[in-house]
């Protein structure tokens, strides 16, 4: 995995993922890492902080399926979006730092 660690290991991330602001900041940091493994780990951390059974039920996914997806580190876009919808987050699209369209 890149430089991303679970929220309890990384002093640069919130100690508790108990507010939407903390979750959003943590997820944004994972996206800045630029790799799927960091994002998957962040979503797993968020899912476990929110309570996996609750999250699975709210996302309409079997608990075993969500646990397997989180453990595999390669969630489908559908699963990722379902988790984000349940935790009330969305991803705005914006150009990368300094990027211009040619």
For 65-92, how does the pLDDT look when each residue is reduced to its tens digit (9 = 90+)?
888 877 776 678 887 888 788 877 777 7
Please give the Cα distance from 64 to 61 (Å, whole number): 8
Cβ 46 vs Cβ 14: under 8 Å? no
Cβ 18 vs Cβ 12: under 8 Å? no
**Confidence band, pLDDT 50/70/90 cuts, at residue 5:** very low
Closest to 28 measured CA to CA, from 12, 39, 14: 39
Of residues 8 and 97, more confidently modeled: 97
pLDDT at 2 over 50: no
Per-residue model confidence as pLDDT tens digits over 28-77: 888 888 788 888 888 888 777 777 787 788 888 888 888 887 777 667 88
**Confidence band, pLDDT 50/70/90 cuts, at residue 99:** low
pLDDT at 11 over 60: no
| 17, 75, 85, 93: CA torsion to nearest 10 | 90
List all residues 6 or more positions away from 57 whose beta carbon is below 8 Å from its beta carbon: 63
């Amino acid at each position: 995995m890149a430089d991303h660690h679970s929220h309890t290991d990384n002093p640069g991330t919130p100690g508790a993922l108990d507010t939407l602001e903390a979750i959003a900041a943590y997820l944004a940091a994972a996206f800045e890492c630029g790799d799927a493994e960091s994002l998957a780990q962040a979503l797993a951390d968020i899912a476990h902080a929110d309570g996996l059974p609750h999250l699975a039920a709210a996302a309409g996914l079997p608990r075993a399926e969500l646990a397997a997806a989180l453990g595999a580190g390669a969630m489908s876009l559908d699963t990722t979006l379902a988790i984000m919808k349940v935790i009330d987050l969305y991803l705005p699209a914006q150009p990368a730092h300094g990027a211009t369209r040619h």
